[in-house]
Structure 1
Amino acid sequence: MRTKSIVMGIDPGLARTGIGIVECEARQMRALHFGVVRSSPSDAMSVRLATIHRGVRDVLERYTVTGAAIERVFVGRNMRSALLLGHARAAALLAFALAGIGVGEYSPAEIKRAVGAGGGGSKEQVASLVRMLVSGIEGSVPEDASDALAVAVCHINRADSAG
């Protein structure tokens, strides 16, 4: 693994897409950025997807991101929700592809395990563990942004264990 990596994690959602950027150097993780891209339910689908894409792209342009990660779609009983989530993922994935950045994809259970919450950890537990693992997180953090930071941590841990 590089001596220093900067990873953008994405927690996709059509209404709220979480973004978290984590820098890892000498096994120390520090949050460089976290936030949420919001799209309005009253806008056309194309406008909402453009908003997500633009939000991810704009943050990518401000940091020298060396890797990216996104949460995989979990298809439960609600196929419509999974389809809408897939649209949001595609908007973010397009931003990474156009920037030439490789993307790791992880299930919710993999992400929870990567931060030490076990496969079934709660959102609150994940947020608490992320704060313990990643420095530079001050004040209140939106749930979607905290989840995105966890996605970035998962990717960093996977890259670390790969060599």
Structure 2
Amino acid sequence: MLSVPDIDLLAEQAHAGQTDKIGVPYIAHVRAVAAGLAPFGDDLVMAGLLHDVLEDTHWTAGALIAAGVPARVVAIVQTVTNQPGTPYRDKIRRITADPLATLVKIADNAHNSRPDRAAQLPAEKREHLAVKYRQARAALWPSAARADINSIVRIVNPALLTELGEHFG
């Protein structure tokens, strides 16, 4: 079985040359998501590192398992991966059925919602994504423990702490 450093290297190689919406090397995003999941153990850190690998690279679930990625990690990654023809709202519903996948998606959402990142997007795209991510949080957060969400948000996007307090008010 691969270790977290092995998975980090796999993710770095898989996302080599890719950039995110603001032009930053994509590996920075998956590492930020993984950092938010550190309090929950290695399996979730690995899932955070790999959360976009099935949808954005040549890797398949079978290839990940063959490479030594733990099957539970691959299952989480599959759960958070976009499926062609599946609306985003349905994807979020599928994710909330798996508590571990929910935590990965909360970390992903938190990083994608960072104000410093959003500020670099054109206004129209920034507003569209803000609504999308807020709606996703409205579905994701009730499916996780407040303490778990708090742990992730404190690491990944402290700006969401106010919203978290209002949500659980």
Q: TM-score, normalised on structure 2?
A: 0.34
* Higher RCO structure (Cα 8 Å, ≥6 apart): 1
Bigger strand fraction: 1
Structure whose residues are more often helix by fraction: 2
